[in-house]
A and B are shown apart, each in its own frame.
Chain A
């Protein structure tokens, strides 16, 4: 009797231990990733849903080392002040392990010192200002927690120039350009990049027009540009998009638009402009139906299936970033911020927009993405008949450049 009792006790002990260990496994604290983005802006609205999609995929496969990934979403209403409050709340109250933040450079620049102060890894899926990485280079010890998960403006300018050489200078013998860009943090290095690289590919810069992002009437701007008779307008627009595009069409400005037009990357742009975007050429890191990597199209398909619309450019990067953070935590074996930063720096990941590696310490754009062959090359798409077709680079192209009838191309 005594013996049975002892066995029973031992059994109970074993069962209790087993239960205990099961209990601790299921109670393993989830990995929390904060997403601070712009729910109402088309460019920002894909960020949180894409991050959630990646988290759900990771969780369906068992999480990271048995820990689930949890996405905590904050809407910053496109305001730096609200983003900073959200960041503070994310770190001190919601105890997130990392933050994915915003497509707006001004917002990310406001968050950057907070990532340093609160020692929290932050990565942006869509901001472009070069100053983000320059700040890290200037004060690495303090700012190393920030990663730039999208191309820098100067990098974008280089990609646009490369595409201009193949798509405009060679086939159409274009020789002159006017730069037209909105006055914002991200376009200062972009314009400097354009000024430097356009002459190198054979396009002389005749003028450089910067306008306020709250401009509504673009008539004077287009008339000014037309008076200089350039072969092409090189754009740098993101906060505006619909209005200049529609007015370009309604005024029948006879000069093609080519460059960065962030809003044109979105699938709803055709509807927003009532089709005025026909013929507009824009740079992007992804496009509908373009298999940049084997992960690109499955991501888009999953996104469309779940949310019913196409993701904006920052959706692709936000999706990759959740995987990159998860991978870094797995390799670091810890959610300690310094260890995560060290692991992030060693990232070598094939994402939806190309192969991702960060520039190393010592580079003037440390923690920026490596670009060029073998890494991220970007695409050049054109709106044709309601569809976004890729024109460049050649191996991923699905069509040829076509311009609306009101465009006058330079005589050969």
Chain B
């Protein structure tokens, strides 16, 4: 019973972590940007969906759609307001741009976080779930929403895989992550690829934020921990490696669930962070890192 409980709960939470980390690692892999406003974009999408359902009474599906849309809009805003001006700046030395972008996205995230707290208070909110009720599966009573979350996460990741490996546009994105200069030499506009990637990122972060809002709930306080958890999963899996991130998400998700069930809910996040430190010592490029 306990075994199945851990297996099911761990699977759902890990799927959510995986989806959240995928967008984060995609952006880094293709454009070298570590987007520290990641958590803020996820929370903004969830809060937008909550507000749409609660204040505009639009229903669960449309609310979720509005949330995803807000995620995409904010992703583009992040790119156009903070990332692109720094990438194109002639006043900032090339070697310093990475740290400038890091700082800019961090501050951008704080701006979004404070705006959410100002407009909607810092109380936690939950997105109106699309599926309600519980199902008993292998003797474990589980919210249907948990299965829904896991399924949507994997469908989204699967679609991303198809896009990257089976479409021309996706292949260009993949190529850009391997060799940006090579892609430009082939006559593909790199800035178009960046736009595609940021749009994909916005979709992934928006969906992840809304699922998180339905499954666990979010508040403006979640911004920091969400960015940190995506960051540590991506570092653990190897920066820029999507498959590494997926595996790392499951390692972290199950480690947390096991700790919460078998040790104490109060120490939930500690073992995963210890593992991260050990990996940093023994294999600094991460479990599946290329660089």
Contact = CB atoms under 8 A, between A and B. Distances in A.
B128 interface: yes
A220 B121 contact: no
Interface string A242-273: 11001100111000000000010010100111
Given A212-B266, A224-B265, 19 more contacts: A40-B121, A41-B121, A42-B123, A215-B268, A216-B222, A220-B265, A241-B124, A242-B217, A243-B216, A243-B217, A246-B126, A251-B134, A251-B142, A266-B123, A272-B123, A272-B124, A272-B126, A274-B53, A274-B127
13 contacts: A40-B118, A41-B123, A183-B266, A215-B266, A217-B216, A220-B260, A220-B265, A246-B217, A247-B217, A252-B141, A263-B123, A272-B123, A272-B124
Contact of B121 (A42, A209, A241, A250): A42
A139 interface: no
Given A242-B217, A274-B53, A215 B126 contact: no
A276 B54 CA distance: 13
A242 B5 contact: no
A78 B257 CA distance: 30
B143 A243 contact: no
Contacts of B260: 217, 219-221
Interface in B226-246: none
Given A252-B134, A271-B54, A243 B126 contact: yes
A250 B145 contact: yes
Given A41-B122, A216-B217, A220-B260, A250 B143 contact: yes
A221 B128 CA distance: 23
A243 B124 CA distance: 7
A214 B122 CA distance: 13
Interface string A196-217: 0000000000000111101111
A120 interface: no
A221 B264 CA distance: 9
Given A41-B122, A274-B126, A209 B265 contact: yes
B9 interface: yes
B127 to A, nearest CB: 8
B162 interface: no
Interface in A269-297: 271-274, 276
Contacts of B222: 216
B129 interface: yes
Contacts of A210: 266
Interface in B107-151: 117-118, 121-129, 132-134, 141-143, 145
Contact of A242 (B117, B125, B132): B125
B72 interface: no
Nearest to B225: A214
A319 to B, nearest CB: 20
B61 interface: no
Interface of B: 5, 9, 13, 53-54, 117-118, 121-129, 132-134, 141-143, 145, 216-217, 219-222, 225, 256-257, 260-261, 265-266, 268
Interface string A78-91: 10000000000000
A223 to B, nearest CB: 6
Contacts of A240: 124
Given A209-B265, A221-B265, A251-B141, A216 B126 contact: no
Given A214-B225, A216-B222, A243-B216, A251 B124 contact: no
Contacts of A268: 123
Nearest to B60: A274
A211 B123 contact: no
A240 B124 CA distance: 8
Nearest to A221: B265
A214 B221 contact: yes
Contacts of A276: 126
Contacts of A247: 216-217
A187 interface: no
Contacts of B143: 250-252
Contacts of A214: 221, 225
Interface centre among A210, A224, A242, A266 (most CB of B within 10 A): A242
A212 B264 CA distance: 10
Contacts of B9: 217, 219-220
A124 interface: no
Interface in A213-243: 214-221, 223-224, 240-243
A220 B257 contact: yes
Nearest to B9: A219
Contacts of A314: none
A45 interface: yes
Contacts of A215: 265-266, 268
A209 B141 CA distance: 21
Contacts of B216: 216-217, 243, 247
Interface centre among A42, A209, A210, A247 (most CB of B within 10 A): A247
